[in-house]
Structure 1
Amino acid sequence: MDLKRSQYKLIMQNYEKKQLNIKHEINKKKTEIYKRIPLIKVLDDEIASNSVNTTYYIIEHPDEAKEKLEQLQESNFMLSGKKIRLLLDNGYPEDYLQPKYDCNLCKDTGYIGNEKCICLKQAMIDAAYEQSNIKNIIKDENFSTFSFDYYSNSIDSRFNLSPLENIRIIYGKCKKFVNNFDTDFTNIILFGQAGLGKTFLCNCIAKALLDRSHTVIYLTSFQLFKLFEDYKFNNDNDKVPEEQIESIFDCDLLIIDDLGTEFNNRFTGVELFNCLNTRLLNKKSTLISTNLSPNDWSKQYSDRIVSRIFGNYEPLKIFGSDIRLKKYQ
């Protein structure tokens, strides 16, 4: 992902701030614990002393390094066990003095060895696509806040199903999509009239996968084609970086919201097919929401796009009354 130097610097400053906050919190807890349970400080000092002494010994006797390190590990394990028992006996959780990271993979450094951690990749995606807004939205719109109260329990004769029964089925399939994301390659298209919860469900899936350290790009159809247009036709100063476009094809999940609302022409048709087809070939999942019915698709898009979507996506139709209108009333 190609970012401005200032953007990357800001991201890494945020990681540095996290690490400083963690160190501050640990030091604060240690001060408290050492005051309440002085023996824990004695144990910590002994662990530190053992490590230093072992290091000096190995420098002078490198042939005995393996044996000495095993002894150190065994000794520190016993001392750590004593610390845990003291914490528990005094009403503290056993991990009270352990750092609490936002990302346990990289321990809030952004890197695992020399490789970018998944959390750093997502932070760079967010910066490139200015998606910080979705991070605020998904705090309120996620599976735990999804409400079935706005869906009628009256049977719809067209489907021999009530909107409530239908949305429960769709909700379950969206949860299954998340739960099986790492093992089953699937794609979903949510369709139906405006105001029925399609975007809300997209946000639910986005949060669930972000929480599981997957890279997610969320774009409206307008934003998607604007990026493609700027990449293809703008000059070097305004040109979208190639890496930014590549991330659309490579991210774990691409969400295209409100597909069909864009101005449709030959360019958008070609770019849409290329995007969807490339992701299918690379087995990268895509989630689409649209107000278009299956009949509308064939009027707006070419046969090969319609074939790609309805041959490789699970269509989930939502029906009922406009939720936004009900909330307003």
Structure 2
Amino acid sequence: MQSACTISQCSEDKYKCAECMDTTWIIDENNVCTRCHCYEKRIVENAWSRFGVKPEEVLKVNDYKAYDDVTYEVKNKAINYIQNFDEIKKSKENSFALFGQPGAGKSHLVIAIGAALLNRQERFIKVVYMPYEEVIRDLKANAMDDENYIRIQSKYCRAELLILDDLFKSKIKNNKLIAELNSSDIKHIYPIINYRYLNKLPILVSSECTPQMLIDLDQAIARRILEMCGDNITVFKGVKYNYSLKKFVK
């Protein structure tokens, strides 16, 4: 007959957090209740889930299939960023950006970096996921409600690490700019980028723009993003970097 598992073993098997058994509350020896350290992480994870992304289920950086010098280099950059984030975030060039060819795995990598930092065993990083088009629509819809607008905007301004996914996607088609940024677009995204730039708060950016397209759309936004990323920039050029089409391209 197998011996019964200990309480701690059962907790580890049954609950995400063995300390609070997923209640998000801890009672100390004086019967005082305090929030468990997992509470804030649960809030962040729920915010990701709102956009259909579960941090514990996303593909990992190691799942990215590198196959040439560019893809091996970007994979190594991503791994280095995760491993050295605590030092990197202290620098002026503390961000990471992937530009260019759709289908190159840009979203895969920036989301994988964010999830790895959110899920790490030591102190987790409060990573906020911002799919550009959805969030800008949300901000525009709340433009007349000052209290709600500021609450939404502040979440993206102040995040410890922000994933800015598919930046300006609706402005690009077939690797060409098809529209300009209007005053409304700039009104909603510029304050977020500028706040993070001034306060040295890192961002992970994916965009079908190239750096030059970004400059053509808005020089002020482009300068801030490119300065924040420094050498942590990769530009995918050509349909050969579209994973789904790669086997059809000679």
Aligned with 1:271 (options 188, 194, 197) = 188
Larger-Rg structure: 1
Alignment of 1:1-329 (within 5 A): 32-33=2-3, 97=9, 99-100=11-12, 101-103=15-17, 108-111=22-25, 116-117=35-36, 119-128=38-47, 130-131=49-50, 133-135=52-54, 139=57, 141-148=59-66, 151=67, 164-185=68-89, 186-212=94-120, 213-233=124-144, 235=145, 240=148, 242-262=150-170, 264-301=181-218, 303-313=219-229, 314-319=232-237, 321=240, 322-326=242-246
Q: Distance in 2 between matches of 1:209 and 1:259?
A: 21
Q: Distance in 2 between matches of 1:278 and 1:266?
A: 18
- For the Cα contact (< 8 Å) 2:131–2:166, is it kept in 1? yes
One-letter identity of the residue aligned with 2:64: F
What is the DSSP-based 3-state SS (H/G/I as helix, E as strand, rest coil) of the residue aligned with 2:54?
Answer: helix
- 1:108 Cα offset (Å): 3.3
Structure 1, residues 302-321: CA drift from partner, whole Å, max 9, x if none? Answer: x2212211222132223451
Structure 1, residues 9-62: CA drift from partner, whole Å, max 9, x if none? Answer: xxxxxxxxxxxxxxxxxxxxxx9526xxxxxxxxxxxxxxxxxxxxxxxxxxxx
The residue number in structure 2 matching 1:75 is: none
Q: Distance in 2 between matches of 1:231 and 1:122?
A: 26
Q: Distance in 1 between matches of 2:105 and 2:88?
A: 25
Structure 1, residues 236-277: CA drift from partner, whole Å, max 9, x if none? Answer: 8xx846434322122222111111224621122133221112
Q: Distance in 1 between matches of 2:49 and 2:143?
A: 20
List gaps (5 residues or longer) in structure 2. Answer: 27-31, 172-180
Q: Distance in 1 between matches of 2:53 and 2:45?
A: 9
- For the Cα contact (< 8 Å) 2:100–2:210, is it kept in 1? yes
Question: What TM-score comes out, normalization by structure 1 length?
Answer: 0.58
Pick which of 253-262 and 191-200 moved more: 253-262
One-letter identity of the residue aligned with 2:135: L
One-letter identity of the residue aligned with 1:208: A
Change (3 A) 1:241 1:114: farther
- For the Cα contact (< 8 Å) 2:58–2:115, is it kept in 1? no
One-letter identity of the residue aligned with 1:134: V
One-letter identity of the residue aligned with 1:222: E
List gaps (5 residues or longer) in structure 1. Answer: 1-30, 35-91, 152-163
Structure 1, residues 132-151: CA drift from partner, whole Å, max 9, x if none? Answer: 62117x63521232222xx3
- For the Cα contact (< 8 Å) 1:190–1:290, is it kept in 2? yes
Query: Between Structure 1 and Structure 2, which shows a larger proportion of helix residues?
Result: 1
Q: Distance in 1 between matches of 2:49 and 2:131?
A: 13
Structure 1, residues 189-210: CA drift from partner, whole Å, max 9, x if none? Answer: 1112111111111221122112
- For the Cα contact (< 8 Å) 2:48–2:54, is it kept in 1? no
Q: Distance in 1 between matches of 2:155 and 2:37?
A: 13
Q: How many residues align structurally? A: 222
What is the DSSP-based 3-state SS (H/G/I as helix, E as strand, rest coil) of the residue aligned with 1:287?
Answer: strand
One-letter identity of the residue aligned with 1:223: E
Give the alignment's Cα RMSD to 1 decimal: 3.2
- 1:115 Cα offset (Å): 6.0
Query: Between Structure 1 and Structure 2, which shows a larger proportion of strand residues?
Result: 2
What is the DSSP-based 3-state SS (H/G/I as helix, E as strand, rest coil) of the residue aligned with 1:232?
Answer: coil
